[in-house]
Amino acid sequence: MGIVCNSDTNRNIIMKEVKKIMIDLNIKNNDIAKNIGQTDQSTSNLLNPNYRPDGSMTIDTLARICDAMNCDLVVDIVKRD
């Protein structure tokens, strides 16, 4: 996943990328739910790009989702030109 985040980036963009990875790796919502210790419904809501229009999601939660997919979350801070 390669997304440049700024103040205009919302979680919808990030969750769409997560869903693409899930499809590529043949991972289902309930697989992630089991690995992060949440119900299927709450995980489905969490992974739904349109569920939280306020855009709130913590880095910890995203890292747990990535871990459940056997992926690493990579964060890089780059000085703007």
59 CA to centre of own chain: 9
pTM for the predicted model, two decimal places: 0.78
Q: Within a domain: residue 1? A: no
Tell me the pLDDT of the chain (81 aa) as tens digits. Answer: 466 565 556 677 788 889 999 999 999 999 999 999 999 988 888 888 777 655 567 888 889 999 999 999 988 888 888
Question: What pLDDT, on the 0 to 100 scale, is given for residue 52?
Answer: 60
Question: What pLDDT, on the 0 to 100 scale, is given for residue 5?
Answer: 60
Q: Within a domain: residue 76? A: no
Q: What is the CATH number of the domain that holds 35?
A: 1.10.260
Total domain count for the chain? 1
